[in-house]
Amino acid sequence: MLKKYTFIASALLCAQITTASSQNPEITEVVSVATRAETAVSDIIGSVALLDEGTLNLVSHSHIQESLSRLAGVNLHRGNGQEYLPAVRSPVLTGAGGCGGFLMAEDGIPLRAAGFCNINELFEAHTEMAQRIEVLRGTGTALYGSNAMHGIINVVTPGISDQRRLALEVGADDYRRLKLHAGTDNLSVAASLTHDGGYRDQSGFDQQKVSLRHSYAENDLTIDTGMTLTNLNQETAGFIVGLNAYEDRAQIKGNLNPEAYRDVKSARVWSRVSRTLGDNRLVITPYLRDTKMDFLQHFLPGDPLEENGQQSAGVQLGYYGELSDGINLIAGIDAELTDAYLKQSQDSPTQGSPFLQATIPVGMHYDYQVDASMVAPFINLDWGYSQRLKLNAGLRFESVRYDYNNNMLAGRTAEDGTECGFGGCRYSRPESGKNSFDNWSSNLGASYVLSSNQDIYMRLAKGFRAPQAAELYRLQRAQQITDLESESIDSIELGLTGRYQQVSYKLAFYHMEKDQVIFRDSDFFNVSDGNTEHQGVELELDYRINQALTASLSATQARHTYLDSSLLDGVDIRGNDIDTAPRSFGSVRLAWTPNESQSLELEWQSMGSYYLDPENLHSYQGHDLMHLRGSLNLSPAMRLFANISNLTDKRYAERADYTGFTQERYFPGMPRTARIGIEMLW
């Protein structure tokens, strides 16, 4: 059904390309995701999406997926609690090679150091209080390096405001949240405190986040400083097992892993110093990051405990200037140092088959520390060749160095050196050593004004992703050393943006090929010889039906396939769909706003079917959901808001996959859930 609506909408837009321009002014949207400086979306060559403060307040998401699912090309599969698996112009990525396909940032600074990503890292950003969330779909610009392969998500924390705002929200399953934003002329604080009892047994969480902002300005000098602190204590419910188990109401409430948990603490502080030099500007942004995470790996035999952490310091230096009339320059250098560690241990014997019991011993499995460095100079040029034609080119070189120190015996023995049965222990520790990776990324684009309200653009980009530390040093079975290459991606994109009368639209076509894809092969070796192809079309459409009614569409039609001929269980997967890669997904929204005091939105969210395994032998049928949101201003200083998710109480899976050990397994979707809140301003 979604494919049908996408085709109709696309055909309608193409038919209107040559129609006379509209007299309706277009609201200027500003983002910083492409240039690390506030830039009008219309000046960016590429596909940029934006969730503004009004949209974020309307959705009032309890999980970041609820807001990001409104954007074409973005497809987060929700896990339990605050966990998720990401996709931006990609399949939903997981496992070896899955982490690091996207760059997640807050206020323009990556949430994690290069080489130390976390698949769930957006739960460390203060999205609940963001003034906006920006998404660059596709390979990043020269201002961003490793991990910006499929896209960039940048969370912008609240700015300085002397208005005070307090919101209280309650809902099903003992859900409670308090949000506060207050400040003075140059200092503000934003805080969110959340408790959720969880809709499944022993699956609740408590989360606290605080963001501080300070601003100083004198003559040609401005200094903006920010700090974000987060803490998450989560009980975790795992998969439910069995074909279509998500349809069984008794099972979706259960938790086969009541012992599982995840505790995460993060702290980030930065200061952006900007000095105007005539018509030019120099921006220096030093920053510090500290992250610690402990979680029980309930999805692995023996339920081992992982403890990891990173401390990093870095700086972003950028020079923004005008070389000549119409040619603007951004040049600079990024650099950072990281001290990271990872430990994995098990305190009770492994249950299961004799093989598992013999190869997964009690005690320490991994204990290593990595000192890392990253240095990356870059340059970007924008050239307004004429009033209609604009050109863009960027180039970046990035060097990443790892100094790995193994704190245990090398090899695949138990902690005390005892040999495991069946040929050796499951977990293998390489000798201490050093690795380095040097990579180039580039982008080249052009945009052309077709008319006063229609632009067309084309963009070429090459991105990369250096191997992550865990892929290099967290080995299994007989593997004693890795020979991994950096992943690389080549992309081409063609887009059309415009407005006609009450209709505005963004249409993008893309094709990407990724080489040296890192994955774990059938021998449990981390290797980097995979090749994949990604192509699709994205459409975002807004139609102002009348003064009170607006209809919006976000639609994605894509195919993600394996290009390499790998045999899995005797099946050649070349040309197969990548597992967890739906060919279509999106949403349609109808908003009713009769006046400034009332609003109501009905959303239809559609998820297409997808395969659960590379062999394409097992699949999930997809689902359709309805959500209802509303807001009512009781006075200029008081607002009521409510949210009903899964309005029709559909039984569905947030995520489905397949393993040879457990067969079909699912994270069940939440049943119909209501939340209501009140917001006060003063």
Measure the CA angle with vertex 27, ends 26 and 33; round to 5°. Answer: 120
Buried b (16+ CB within 10 A) or exposed e, 388-401: eebbbbbbbbbbbb
Alpha helix (H) residue ranges in 352-474:
354-359, 469-473
CA separation for the pair 52, 33 (Å, rounded): 14
Q: What is the CATH number of the domain that holds 528?
A: 2.40.170.20
Measure the CA angle with vertex 200, ends 195 and 205; round to 5°. Answer: 25
User: Quick one: which of 60, 162, 166 has its CA closest to 680?
Assistant: 166
Phi, psi at 101, each rounded to 5°: -80, -10
Residue labelled with tokens 């997809």: 622
Position 24 scores a pLDDT of 42
Position 299 scores a pLDDT of 86
Position 660 scores a pLDDT of 72
CA separation for the pair 438, 549 (Å, rounded): 52
User: Quick one: which of 510, 388, 511 has its CA closest to 456?
Assistant: 388
Chain centroid to Cα 224, Å, comes to 25
**Residues contacting 363, CB < 8 A, separation 6+:** 345, 346, 414, 415, 416
Type of residue found at 356: L
| Structure tokens given for 445 | 């684009």
Position 74 scores a pLDDT of 97
**Residues contacting 459, CB < 8 A, separation 6+:** 45, 46, 138, 443, 444, 445, 446, 491, 492, 493, 495
Number of other CB atoms surrounding residue 32 within 10 Å: 16
Position 11 scores a pLDDT of 37
Q: Name the stretches of the chain with pLDDT < 70.
A: 1-27, 95-97, 662
pTM comes to 0.94
* Structural domain that includes position 468: 2-17+24-681
Number of other CB atoms surrounding residue 77 within 10 Å: 23
Check the CA dihedral 236-242-243-249 and report its sign.
negative
Number of domains forming the structure of the chain: 1
